[in-house]
């Protein structure tokens, strides 16, 4: 007892009291603030639809490591932007080059990403030898061989194929491509049938731009109906969605989503981007043969996007995603056409070498205002 109240012990008690008070107040001062961590895109939209990006060779090879990081964090599906197109897959007749495509598939498997093949049949980015074929039967056999060789190599590894890309004109008639001219409209049904034979479980899609325009929409509906009547399996329609701040209107987009879904197919937004640059010719879509001379007036934001335009872009993305969310029962996937603004094809179309800002991540891979507005839509329980 005596020991307990000795002066040296008393000193210790006082010291202990002071120390614990200081520690306690420190702890209170540095109580971590409750910062709400924003979900990633794929987390935010996990109950609604898949969310993806087009990816390029620099990402697959790992050269673009920041891009790869974003792909893994933000997306759950990928589409190769270029490397599975005809000119790369079959550069010479009957000689296939699977090297890059195999790497894309490995990348998607390793990172648990749903893989979309793009594309099997397209008049553009075709290998030059195809245009040289004179005999129609040879052309038909080459088309069959192309579709079947590739679709069967990746059987079971590909979730869905853009089987036919951009086969329609703006007025809804069939585009006068080499295939239509020489093989007639049957080439479309055949392409779907050959793809199905080669990979019966893969989803098969028709993919095109300006799919919100009433005439083209009618054309696409007729096309899909015809394909189905002729016994082809069509699982989905891809609306590419190369859009602008002004158009298409939300009404056109909504009517199209509903109309396509009424065909009994899945609706996918497959190549989303929203140009932020002037477009005085009112060009819409993605007709790559359209190219124009540039000027300073046409490339106004070489340093950065002004806040006013950045806010417009965020608002446009907000409206678009609110609509997608409203129709989540019809939409199975939304894919952006590229990871960040530095990598978008829209820096070079319809005028080369411009500085465009159509995606959700900036050139430093940082999320933009548009990104936050897309996340907000997912979280907003009133939408």
* Catalytically active residues, by annotation: 271
CB of 82 to ligand 9MR, least distance (A): 5
In order of 18, 54, 211, 260, the CA distances from 257 in angstroms are 69, 21, 9, 5
* Alpha helix segments (H runs only) across the chain: 7-29, 41-44, 57-60, 65-74, 86-89, 99-110, 128-132, 136-153, 178-183, 186-198, 214-229, 250-261, 307-326, 369-379
Q: Is 371 in the site for ligand 9MR (CB under 6 A)?
A: no
Which of residues 355 and 373 has its CB atom nearest to ligand 9MR in the complex? 355
Question: Six-digit token pair at 21?
Answer: 């008070």
Q: Binding pattern to ligand 9MR, positions 3-42, x when CB under 6 A?
A: ----------------------------------------
Q: Binding pattern to ligand 9MR, positions 246-285, x when CB under 6 A?
A: -------------------------x--------------
Longest dimension (CA), the chain: 114
Question: Could you say which of 70, 195, 265, 286 contacts ligand 9MR (CB under 6 A)?
Answer: 286
Assess contact for 144 and 100: CB atoms under 8 A. no
CB of 165 to ligand 9MR, least distance (A): 6
Question: Could you say which of 88, 179, 317, 345 contacts ligand 9MR (CB under 6 A)?
Answer: 345
- Signed CA dihedral, 135, 141, 142, 144: sign only: positive
CB of 334 to ligand 9MR, least distance (A): 15
C-alpha span between 298 and 55 (Å, rounded): 27
CB of 161 to ligand 9MR, least distance (A): 13
Residues 90-129 within binding reach of ligand 9MR (CB under 6 A): 124-125
C-alpha span between 106 and 100 (Å, rounded): 10
Assess contact for 275 and 244: CB atoms under 8 A. yes
The per-residue DSSP string of 193-241 comes to HHHHHH-TTSEEEEEES-TTSHHHHHHHHHHHHHHHHTT----EEEE--
Q: Is 288 in the site for ligand 9MR (CB under 6 A)?
A: yes
C-alpha of 93 from chain center: 30
- Residues 289-305 as b/e (b if ≥16 CB within 10 A, e otherwise) read eeeeeeeeeebbbeeeb
Which of residues 270 and 373 has its CB atom nearest to ligand 9MR in the complex? 270
Which of residues 74 and 165 has its CB atom nearest to ligand 9MR in the complex? 165
Which of residues 81 and 90 has its CB atom nearest to ligand 9MR in the complex? 81
* Paired strand residues for 208: 239
CB of 119 to ligand 9MR, least distance (A): 7
Question: Could you say which of 76, 240, 335, 340 contacts ligand 9MR (CB under 6 A)?
Answer: 240
CB of 53 to ligand 9MR, least distance (A): 12
Identify the residue whose tokens are 């009517």. 255
Identify the residue whose tokens are 């409209």. 185
CB of 239 to ligand 9MR, least distance (A): 11
Query: By CB under 6 A, how many residues form the interface with ligand 9MR?
Result: 10
Question: Could you say which of 50, 75, 78, 81 contacts ligand 9MR (CB under 6 A)?
Answer: 81
Omega of the bond prior to 350 within 30 degrees of 0, cis? yes
Which of residues 82 and 311 has its CB atom nearest to ligand 9MR in the complex? 82
Give the residues lining the site for ligand 9MR (CB under 6 A). 81-82, 124-125, 165, 240, 271, 286, 288, 345
């Amino acid at each position: 007892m005596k020991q307990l109240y000795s002066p040296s012990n008393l000193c210790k008690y006082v010291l202990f009291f002071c120390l614990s008070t200081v520690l306690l107040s420190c702890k209170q001062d540095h109580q971590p603030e409750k910062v709400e961590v924003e979900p990633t895109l794929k987390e935010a939209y996990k109950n609604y639809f898949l969310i993806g990006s087009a990816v390029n060779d620099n990402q697959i090879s790992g050269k673009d490591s920041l891009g790869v990081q974003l792909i893994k964090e933000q997306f759950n599906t990928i589409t190769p932007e270029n490397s599975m197109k005809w000119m790369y897959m079959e550069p010479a007749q009957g000689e296939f080059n699977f090297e890059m495509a195999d790497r894309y598939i490995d990348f998607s498997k390793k990172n648990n990403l749903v893989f979309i093949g793009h594309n099997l049949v397209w008049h553009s980015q075709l290998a030059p030898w195809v245009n040289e074929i004179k005999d129609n039967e040879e052309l038909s056999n080459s088309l069959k061989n192309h579709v079947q060789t590739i679709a069967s190599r990746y059987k079971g590894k590909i979730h869905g194929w853009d089987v036919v890309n951009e086969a329609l004109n703006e007025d809804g008639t069939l585009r006068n491509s080499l295939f239509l001219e020489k093989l007639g409209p049957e080439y479309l049904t055949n392409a779907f049938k050959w793809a199905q034979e080669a990979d019966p479980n893969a989803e098969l899609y028709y993919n095109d731009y300006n799919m919100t325009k009433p005439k083209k929409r009618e054309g696409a509906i007729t096309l899909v109906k015809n394909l189905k009547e002729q016994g082809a399996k069509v699982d989905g329609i891809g609306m590419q969605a190369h859009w602008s701040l002004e158009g298409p209107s939300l009404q056109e987009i909504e009517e199209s989503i509903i109309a396509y879904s009424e065909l009994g197919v899945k609706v996918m937004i497959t190549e989303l981007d929203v140009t932020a640059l002037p477009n005085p010719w009112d060009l819409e879509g993605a007709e790559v043969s359209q190219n124009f001379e540039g000027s300073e007036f046409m490339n106004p934001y070489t340093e950065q996007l002004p806040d006013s335009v950045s806010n417009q872009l965020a608002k446009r993305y907000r409206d678009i995603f609110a609509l997608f969310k409203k129709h989540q029962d019809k939409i199975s996937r939304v894919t952006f056409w590229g990871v960040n603004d530095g990598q978008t094809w829209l820096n070079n179309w319809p005028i080369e070498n411009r500085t465009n800002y159509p995606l959700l991540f900036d050139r430093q891979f940082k999320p933009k205002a548009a990104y936050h507005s897309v996340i907000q839509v997912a979280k907003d329980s009133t939408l």
